């Protein structure tokens, strides 16, 4: 297996003749946008144009207008060298996984912005960055749900619809792997129903069936306060006809463990970042 992997890598490098190349996959419906994808070979275009929607340093999301289409382009950058090798040979890039997952989700009846293209840029046969292009959506974010209190009774219909939608996703065997409220968009329809959309879908897994534990661990990732988490757990238990007390107990345990792990990760990242800055500033001996 090791020889096969190495052979694939060498063959790919020779095939690209050790120069910058681009590999792209375009939804046939949007073939008229191919000019934009060629422009993306020039990284200055992405940096200087478009409307910034999200930037956490590692990944950047921007909105663009091109040939009458309203697009969102997510650039996956800052890839570790190991992952560059893996994405160049045996694994799909994050952008490619997002494209494939979007297509699969919509085929399963789960809404997500329509996939348009994947652009992967290689230097010397190694993936340096990748772009996932999707249709722009005007749906709203659920991030404000962190402010939930039981006095906000006008929120209950939205929350009940959200629980039913999450249960539908789980029943279809979908694990988002990062199901926080920032990755769920919604829009109220004229008939009073609510349409939800999943975004940030490159980590997803598809299973035949999900256990109760897998479902509750997914729910624990929702960035909600404890009151809202308990409300969602109760509604989820009612909908799935589970034992309410058992679901609340397990659900709260998974929530506490998830938050604890996130706190530890943030502390480690903060420590490493601080140490690196001190090292660069000469405060730590080299």
Distance CA(224)–CA(146), nearest Å, equals 5
So where are the chain's domains? 2-135, 141-263
Tokens found for residue 36: 């934009």
The pLDDT of residue 283: 64
With H, G, I as helix, E, B as strand and everything else as coil, classify residue 86: helix
Mean pLDDT of residues grouped by 10 in the chain (286 residues)? 46 49 89 84 81 85 91 84 68 92 96 94 83 94 90 93 96 94 92 92 93 95 92 95 93 92 82 64 63
**What CA–CA distance (Å, rounded) separates 17 from 21?**
9
**Burial environment of residue 227 by CB neighbours within 10 A (0 to 12, 13 to 18, 19 or more):** exposed
- Asked if 236 contacts 163 with a C-beta cutoff of 8 angstroms, the reply is yes
Contact 87, 118 (CB under 8 A): no
Q: What is the pLDDT of residue 276?
A: 54
What class is the 2-135 domain? Answer: alpha beta
Hey, which CATH number is domain 141-263, 3.40.1710, 1.10.600, 3.30.70, 1.10.510?
1.10.510
pTM reported for the whole predicted model: 0.83
CB 188 within 8 A of CB 194: yes
- In this prediction, residue 77 carries a pLDDT of 76
What pLDDT is stored for residue 14 in this prediction?
44
């Amino acid at each position: 297996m090791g020889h096969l992997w190495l052979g694939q890598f060498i063959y790919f490098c020779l095939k690209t003749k050790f120069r910058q190349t681009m590999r792209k996959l375009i939804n046939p419906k949007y073939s008229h946008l191919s000019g934009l994808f060629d422009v993306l070979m020039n990284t200055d275009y992405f940096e200087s144009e478009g409307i910034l929607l999200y930037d956490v340093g590692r990944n950047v999301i921007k909105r663009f207008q091109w040939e009458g289409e309203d697009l969102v382009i997510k650039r996956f950058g800052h890839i570790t060298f190991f992952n560059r090798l893996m994405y160049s040979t045996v694994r799909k890039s994050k952008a490619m996984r997002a494209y494939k997952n979007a297509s699969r989700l919509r085929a399963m009846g789960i809404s997500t912005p329509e996939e348009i293209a994947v652009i992967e840029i290689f230097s010397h046969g190694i993936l340096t960055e990748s772009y996932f292009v999707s249709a722009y959506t005007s749906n709203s974010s659920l991030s404000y749900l962190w402010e939930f209190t039981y006095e906000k009774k006008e929120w209950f219909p939205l929350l009940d619809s959200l629980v039913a939608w999450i249960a539908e996703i789980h029943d279809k065997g979908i694990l988002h792997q990062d199901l926080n409220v920032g990755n769920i968009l919604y829009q109220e329809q004229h008939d009073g129903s609510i349409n939800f959309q999943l975004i940030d879908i490159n980590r997803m897994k598809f299973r035949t069936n999900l256990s109760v534990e897998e479902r509750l661990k997914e729910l624990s990732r929702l960035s909600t306060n404890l009151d809202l988490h308990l409300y969602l757990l109760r509604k989820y238990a009612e909908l799935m006809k589970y034992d309410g007390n058992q679901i609340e107990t397990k659900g709260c345990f998974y929530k506490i463990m998830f938050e604890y792990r996130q706190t530890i990760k943030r502390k480690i990242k903060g420590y490493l970042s601080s140490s690196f800055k001190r090292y660069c500033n000469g405060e730590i001996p080299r």
